[in-house]
Structure 1
């Protein structure tokens, strides 16, 4: 597929929507900081920055795919994308802070955290939509959907590791021993933590439903895959 005006406008519109959501969330945080005199939710800015990483990497993958880059070259940013993908829907778990930090009405904090969480979720689903199309164009439809369900299940586990044992994406490089120990311990007794199982199942189900909605909207808007290379005579 060539870079048609329709596709380019769709990507530009999607990115503009994500930027607008980020600006709205950041603006609400700034308003709260002015109201209370303390940036109590300033950590949400960092979480949102991390949520942008998989989307930006997904755009890189789309660009590489369009110029017919070799598979090994796509694999490098692909690994980075998978490692950082959980950071996007991770923002949903920041609702755990609701009501814990005084200084603003509860409804305002719901709106504030919701703006960050909604933008983070959309960043994750949009990045998966782009990568899904790239993998589908390279390896076929079945491989594309395997990527979707596999990456969402792994993201659910990544969200758990980030929220509760407090690991980060870069711990794969900076603290691999600690991360591997926790993972191996859980694998050795997979049924020993009912909360982890219920959390992973519920989160995966929610993410799958969110993605199917995103994918359906993308199909209706674009009607043609986003990252495919041009076919002869197209």
Structure 2
């Protein structure tokens, strides 16, 4: 298959998106996509063992890729870092052509059977944003940055889904408030580090957290992070 040829899974996703607003990311949508594309059922089942769930995850990953491409082409040089993060989240939401596809996806990944997939997708978005913005953290901050941004992103999505303001102005204001809240936490952490008393109280926990390393530094262990005994 050439690099420009559309894969069977991409064809299924393109066909499924038409049906998602009506049937959600469901078996009915997957069956309709198989029929519309003419792809053999055995082939479709082999590339999407969980049917529309796999297509929903692919749709999310494609949105992340569009966001990263826009970040890489945007001029962010004169922006404060918190504004770069806000821009990234905004770009991610603006990558969505039909809000109903996300609404249906939110309903799907709220189900207990797929909640872990949804959480992983949100984490993946946060990771893509930090990587695109040049994050070089190698310790526990690698995790806290992504966990915090995952919370900001997921809460912003829920607000955005119910937002009918012009050009989603209310959503962007909500996003700015959430990021401001995070920045307050970072200021508090800096105050603790600079305090002669509080820094001593946190010496033990900080020593413990200092041994946690980012996953990209874990060589061959296959885990999301590692403990460094040194």
TM > 0.5 between the two?
no
Specify the structure having the higher radius of gyration (Cα).
Answer: 2
Which protein has greater RCO, CA pairs closer than 8 Å, 6+ apart? 1
Relative to its length, the structure with more helix (as a share) is 1
TM-score bracket, normalised by the shorter chain, equals 0.3 to 0.5
Give the TM-score, by structure 1 length.
0.35
Give the TM-score, by structure 2 length.
0.35
